[in-house]
Homo-oligomer: A and B are copies of this chain.
């Protein structure tokens, strides 16, 4: 299958490249990057030194669309929507890694982000969490790849939500590596501001909140409020989400464990830790796995999930989505094991 990446010079672009270059069913036909147009990939990412890859080119939608059948768009929100529209209009299938098509309610999107130029596409877009929407992904022409935080949080909450056990509020305390902030330099991502430190940011008002609430509402059939506190951790990759779920009834840890094991037993990328064990981001580094650990105290369940924000939280999940859309085995190209240490 011929594929293209629009926006190949950021970290999610690089992660797509890492996975797709070795994907046996895929030919990378076109790579775009505005600032770096005309340069080779290895100039921008020396880790790809020596590979034969198309050079980075500017985004000419007609030219680009003609080269491939499926596109990954890895652009900032607001910018992405117009490109996606152009590709869809030219009959291409698109996996969009921005936030532009994740919220089905255009008013909600516009409150949290910016004006939407093509709300008519929102109803077509499938929220690309395979563990929740696999069958709809299969036939989709446009998939909104989930945000990094929502991926880890929703997987942590799925079984409880589906069983009707969730109360009205969930507290999500998440800790992310720095690559989630993208490759553009900023004071907040300067090494010396991050190393040897931890801090919370966007407390109670991070843009991934409505995305979590939308999907929880879909699962629970009513509003569930997410109180979300993201933190920045001095590491490159990984998100650990510590989720405090206040349940409608007490549940034994063993029952919780069985519930999660059963729910995810066919899922190739979700692993439940034995009771007493809790996940570390180091065990999923560079992989598409989501590891989940469980604890109960009274009617509060503590569910902890670990993902790699660039893999299961972004590009790996996008490749998983592509595999589903194309009818490939779902794990192909995603078999690499964690780089530990």
Q: Is A6 an interface residue (CB 8 A)?
A: no
Contact status A302-B340, CB under 8 Å: no
The answer to whether B189 touches A183 (Cβ under 8 A) is no
A contact residues, range: 35 or more
Contacting residues, chain B, for A163 (C-beta < 8 A): none
Q: With an 8 A cutoff between CB atoms, is A233 at the interface?
A: yes
Task: Tell me the number of copies of this protein.
Answer: 4
Q: Mark A151-186, 1 if CB is under 8 A from B, else 0.
A: 000000000000000000101010101110001011
Of all A-B residue pairs in the complex, the 8 with the closest CB atoms, nearest first, are A192-B341, A197-B282, A199-B280, A47-B338, A185-B185, A173-B173, A46-B283, A47-B283
Residues of A near any B CB (own CB < 8 A): 11, 14, 17-18, 21-22, 45-51, 169, 171, 173, 175, 177-179, 183, 185-187, 189-201, 203-204, 225, 227, 229, 231, 233-238, 240, 242, 244, 271, 273, 277-286, 289, 291, 293, 295, 297-298, 300, 302, 304, 306, 310, 335-341
Let me know if B204 and A282 touch, CB within 8 A. no
With A187-B185, A191-B195: A240-B200 Cβ-Cβ less than 8 Å = yes
State A194–B302 Cα separation when bound (angstroms).
22
Q: Would you call A336 and B338 a contact (CB within 8 A)?
A: no
Q: How far is the CB of A178 from chain B (nearest CB, A)?
A: 4
